[in-house]
Amino acid sequence: MENKPGILNAVIGDKKKFLLVIILLIFFSLLLNVVLYIGGFFSISADESGRTLLAYEWLHGGYKEAPTWLPFYTIVIGYGIKIFADLFWAPRIVATFFCVLSFASFIWLAHQLFKDKYVTLLSAIIALFFPTRVILGAVPLSESMYYFFIFSGIALFTMWLRSRWDHNLILSAVAFAVSSSIRYEGWFFSAALVLILIIFKKLKVKEISIVNILLISMIGFAFPLYWFLFQTNISGNPLQFFEDASRGYENAQGITFFTILKNNYLGRFIHHNLIYFCFPGLISLSYFFVRDSLIRRWVSFTLLAFIPLVILSFFGIGIPTHNIWRVPELWNILLIPFTAYFIKNIRSFEIKYLKHLQNVKIPLLLTLLLIYYSFHIYRLMGIDAFTKEELKVGRYVERNLMVNETNKILIEIPDWSYLNIIVASNKPGLFVWNSDYNPKKKGNEILNNESKINFEELSNRHIKYLLLKSEGLKSKVMSNPFFREKKVFKEWSVFEL
């Protein structure tokens, strides 16, 4: 038995201590979210607030038009708001809940891969501080939900590879099917599962019946079929969601040689693989791919879900409008157990500067890696898509302007920050948007810099207050005696008619 550091050896050698440490690490994943929220980190984009408002809309009457976002997140957040009626905190509580679940399911997956407590423990420690997992686990996007079902599905698939228990395979198909109602990438995992089973059947590398393949195909393709029918029923176009997403990317980024070179998933995967030191995992994975049939089958499955996404991204298809790294990042996280295996065996390498530190190589390298990750978490926290100031504005509006619900608030649409204020106010129905909901496509403005203020229009819409950000509109309103400046924030100002 190799000479492991005393503390780790004691933990790994005792089942109760090992489980206790794993539970503590899972608890720390919860604590990390709390620390991020206290530090004022609330989101990385406008999508968080947009998704919350869509959930609120669904809760109060259903979809008004065909949605591009898949329904699982909307429904879960909608019920979360129903239970705890705070549009700001409810989605973050739900996201944190799934963050903890996804972290636990990742540890389960890591253990199923190697059945090695040492690798499992190292994987859990690395994943706990892995920057993008931390960030995506804290923000109220769909990633934490999606990761939970994907990690669970892959863990169950790995269990099936190690056994003949087909119920693990069925449960894996169900997990991927649920993921396909959260993010479109889940569709590729469902399709990859069917395809890999057909390959296994054809090559006779794993026993699987035709009945089970058909059953798994039905489970995996049920939701995509439903979504096509749903889109057709609402919009008359089964591909409405696809066209909306492609149009959004084209408007935001443009489809040119240089944008595709910059935004394709393979490039984004390699970039984060390098800056977050995932490449040792590729070394271990390559070693096992050649020598271990189970890992070879595991890798083949995960690649079948990734390669089509990479190919589509080279044509500018299926790419988000921003934070594009979110999509391929899953596969870097899946490399963490292989990185952990590499670190576990670092003592077998003759490293010049570490050869005299035989017993502390792993703790030293792990400590340096976690310090490095902490700096990256701090860097990513600097993305202030939802600021403390916007939360402050929304809470002020809720407490001071929404006492009489017959009075409406006209809110300017200068940028996406207006969504954050509406969410923070907890009463989206009391806002009247000054123009189109999209800041990049303004039109039919109620209040603008050119024309006179239409008081009849304001009266007809029961507008009592104005919430403005641009200096032009502020100056115009301030010069009119019928308005009084009620409250000034850093960027936003409240006016009373």
**Helix-then-strand count for the chain, H and E:** 23, 5
The phi, psi pair for 39, rounded to 5°, reads -75, -5
User: Residue 362's pLDDT is what?
Assistant: 77
Q: Please name which of 268, 273, 70 lies closest in space to residue 178, comparing C-alpha atoms.
A: 70
Strands 408-411, 493-496: pairing is unpaired
The alpha helices in 382-440, defined as continuous H runs, are: 388-400, 417-425
Tell if the pTM clears 0.85, that is, is over it.
yes
CA dihedral 160, 339, 151, 26 (to 10 degrees): 120
pLDDT over 70 for what percent of the chain? 93
pLDDT band at 100 (very low <50, low <70, confident <90, very high): very high
Q: Is the pLDDT of residue 127 over 80?
A: yes
Strands 484-488, 493-496: pairing is antiparallel
403 CB contacts (<8 Å, ≥6 apart)? none
User: Residue 249's pLDDT is what?
Assistant: 66
In tens, the pLDDT along 228-269 reads 999 898 888 888 877 777 776 666 676 777 888 888 999 999
List own/partner pairs for 427-431 with CB under 8 A and 24 or more apart: 427/398, 427/402, 428/53, 428/56, 428/87, 429/60, 430/402, 430/405
Is the sign of the CA dihedral 253, 142, 314, 384 positive or negative?
positive
Q: Is the pLDDT of residue 205 over 60?
A: yes
User: Residue 219's pLDDT is what?
Assistant: 98
pLDDT band at 353 (very low <50, low <70, confident <90, very high): low
The helix or strand, by DSSP H or E, that contains position 433, with its residue range, turns out to be: strand 431-433
Q: What's the mean pLDDT when you consider all of the chain?
A: 90
pLDDT band at 2 (very low <50, low <70, confident <90, very high): very low
Distance of alpha carbon 246 from alpha carbon 227, whole angstroms = 17
User: Residue 242's pLDDT is what?
Assistant: 77
pLDDT band at 319 (very low <50, low <70, confident <90, very high): confident
The phi, psi pair for 12, rounded to 5°, reads -70, -35
In tens, the pLDDT along 391-409 reads 999 999 999 998 888 899 9
Segment 455-469 mean pLDDT:
93
Q: Is the pLDDT of residue 421 over 80?
A: yes
Q: Answer with the residue of higher pLDDT: 382 or 473.
A: 473
